[in-house]
Structure 1
Amino acid sequence: MTPSETFSRPFDAVLCDLDNVIRFYDMAPLAELERAAGLAEGTTATVGYAPETDLPLLLGKITKEEWVDSIASALSDRVPRMHARELGMALADAPFRADDMVVALLRQVREHMPLILVTNATLELERDLESMGLSDLADHVVSSARAGVAKPDRAIYEIAAERAGVAASRCLFVDDRLENVEAATTLGMTGVHYHEPADLQKLLDFLPDDCEVPLHRC
């Protein structure tokens, strides 16, 4: 990167969410269990991701097993306890994959500036990244379970900017949840409410031509 390119680029670091940007879950097995139990599809996720159930897990205060127990307790008035725990386990162990297109884009970004993952995640995050072959994707990972603070609390954004080594105003923040993006922009960051890889690609036009990643899967 030449000095003129450095001066003209709109940001100097990328702070990126993990889930629903890079990592995607397959909820089909859980949905099948819900139908068999007579529950509407998505019921388990609604219970499991409710702040009062989910936040202790994301702050590293409880284990995944304890989270499953809390889901089972919340569902036990709707289905037998055995089925409630099975549903909780299916949510906790839902299979996941990385979006290869987004991974390729982010690997190109990292060749030119710091890349920081900023994610509300569990204490198992490091193992999950390794299973997807992404342990080396970012320069740093800021996990809520390790930091003890979760998005959209401003502290987690400040930690991420510090890890990047640049001012908040020179950071691009990418997340699928609007409230998380809005929290970043209040700190002066450039925010991207993520829906698809094109949302990232159009912001990377300032990178050299050899960094372009085609918006199709081979």
Structure 2
Amino acid sequence: MIISEKKPFEELLECLEDSKKVVITGCSLCATTCKVGGEEEVLKMKAKLEENGKKVLGYKILDPACNFLKTKRDLKSLRSELKETDAVLSLSCGDGTQTVAKLVDIPVYPGNNTMFIGEVERIGKYSEACRACGNCQLGWTGGICPITKCAKGLLNGPCGGAKDGKCEVNPENDCAWILIYNRLKELGQLDNLEKLREPRDYQVNSHPGKINLRNK
């Protein structure tokens, strides 16, 4: 899941300083789960903007915001509002915000900060799980990601700086490679650590990335 958190309201007002009329979009998936872009949050934002002198012409919870063709279709219900509005405030992740921006000819401002791909431990508590590196290593590390969990992204064991099982970069985090070792020991797969791994190939994760399944 893409984890996002709200931007400070003052920052939004600054973006919308020259916009008197606003349309708000949310997202039915990740942003809704993170409590930053569902209908409840959109309605609260609507009320808050109106309290600060903005006229909210309409809103739409996109399903989901990052689906280009679906969003294009969903925005048709706001056709008249989008012709009249000065700006769109997008309460989704950065991907959803960019999708909306491609489909309208007015400014689109992000209402959230996109933080990471992560796990929902419980509502309101999230932890980073994946950096979308383009070459998943989980098959030999016991399902623990060394790219994400290790602050240095090391692929051939720990750096040697861990103390009491904690990372030297951030002592609040467990050392990823100690976690990996213990997990592989539980699985009877410690021999996975005997193979020397190639350095990370950053070419497989060049930006912006594109995948076209029609060509495969």
**TM-score of the two chains, using structure 2 as the length reference:** 0.30
- Name the structure with the higher strand share: 2
Q: Normalising by structure 1, what TM-score?
A: 0.30
* Structure number having the greater helix percentage: 1
Larger Rg: 2
Structure with more contact order per residue of length (Cα contacts < 8 Å, sep ≥ 6): 1
